Structure 1
């Protein structure tokens, strides 16, 4: 049991630490990051319940639409919702890159607990694949969400709705695409690997841009 818990926790904490330490200017209080992580953990059961109900009631007749919205939209919406109402207005969200730190923390809380449940159900032999694909993808969706939340927080008032919309829409689009690849293609590995390379490129580019913006910011 200890091995499964360790294998389930390790990738999420490693990814969170990586993006936390990429903050070049003012690192966030560890207590706030842990708080965001716990919020992510607490999202797992309500999201799983809603997904179960949607599947049971067959809300979406089209399988692709079902996958896109039941998993991509639902998971990203709840992460976005908790960030917006618990972190976005907080005084500690004081720099552009902070959005990435807190968003990744929520995403890693969710992905870590989900990962532990999966490994208990299916075995520790899946740990490496889970770390490379679902856990990493959640972290990168979080980077993108946090980048646009930061843009919204520190933009002119008239531009904020646009960035807020993108902070939900783009992670949802990426997450939905990821799930559709796994669902639609029998040889999904040959498609998901290039997609993951793109995700890493896109996420790291957003992290670099957030730090560059911070370097020239005058709040």
Structure 2
């Protein structure tokens, strides 16, 4: 069925709706609106990467075949650019808000921004992916990858507000760039075994950090 090929485009928006559904039961309306805005502003964080990839593919690197090009694409054009604008939005727009009251909020807002990013990026890749034949793997795994990577970045950025420590923010940003770079590298190189191994590790770390942030008092994390 034709509908099935569009199914992966619904993953990130569906996660957004699920998060909003549960958040509306525990958040005040003002905070809920701020939380929802993270998704829509997150859509914008994909634009720089999309523009650069389009420009580079059209006018410079027409084939991603050599190891150096794969590394450059993965860690600089995709990893760094993608995480930079998500980081800037979370760190300098949402983190200073008064409604940002606990470290776990860093995870919540980071995930919401990431779902916005994944929505826009998946639409672009759906129509413009020209790098490998595994487009369906890209579309299905991208929202999942950025979901768990955003938990890791959000954990450290959430901590940074309460420890007044820029090192935590940079730790979260650096980890996100490296992890998303490895994710992109595995896709571009077609190494799905490595993708599975790294993915399993990222999911485990994300669960542990989320549990630590959720179940611990603020002072215990500092």
Calculate the TM-score normalised by the size of structure 2: 0.78
1:13–1:108 CA contact under 8 A, matched in 2: yes
2:51 pairs, out of 37, 40, 49, with: 49
The corresponding residue for 1:141 is: 149
Q: Distance in 2 between matches of 1:216 and 1:14?
A: 34
2:153–2:175 CA contact under 8 A, matched in 1: yes
Matches within 5 A, 1:68-147: 68-120=75-127, 129-130=137-138, 132-147=140-155
1:183, CA displacement in angstroms?
A: 2.6
Q: Distance in 2 between matches of 1:202 and 1:48?
A: 29
Superposition RMSD in Å: 3.3
Q: Distance in 1 between matches of 2:187 and 2:123?
A: 20
Unaligned 5+ segments in structure 2 are none
1:47–1:74 CA contact under 8 A, matched in 2: yes
1:13, CA displacement in angstroms?
A: 3.8
Q: Distance in 2 between matches of 1:203 and 1:150?
A: 14
1:165 aligns with 2:173: no
- The farther-off stretch of 45-54 and 204-213 is 45-54
SS at match of 1:93: coil
1:8–1:113 CA contact under 8 A, matched in 2: no
Q: Distance in 1 between matches of 2:98 and 2:177?
A: 27
How many residues end up aligned between the 2 structures? 207
Q: Distance in 1 between matches of 2:94 and 2:18?
A: 20
Flag the 1:20–1:95 CA change in 2: closer, same or farther, 3 A: farther
SS at match of 1:195: helix
1:174 aligns with 2:179: yes
Flag the 1:130–1:27 CA change in 2: closer, same or farther, 3 A: farther
Deviation digits for residues 31-68 of structure 1 (CA, Å, limit 9, x no counterpart): 1121000111122223211233455356xx93123421
Q: Distance in 2 between matches of 1:53 and 1:118?
A: 14
Flag the 1:117–1:65 CA change in 2: closer, same or farther, 3 A: closer
Q: Distance in 1 between matches of 2:41 and 2:82?
A: 13
Of structures 1 and 2, the one scoring higher in RCO (CA 8 A, sep 6+) is 1
1:82, CA displacement in angstroms?
A: 1.2
1:182, CA displacement in angstroms?
A: 2.2
1:131, CA displacement in angstroms?
A: 5.7
1:4–1:116 CA contact under 8 A, matched in 2: no
1:152 aligns with 2:155: no
SS at match of 1:154: helix
Unaligned 5+ segments in structure 1 are none
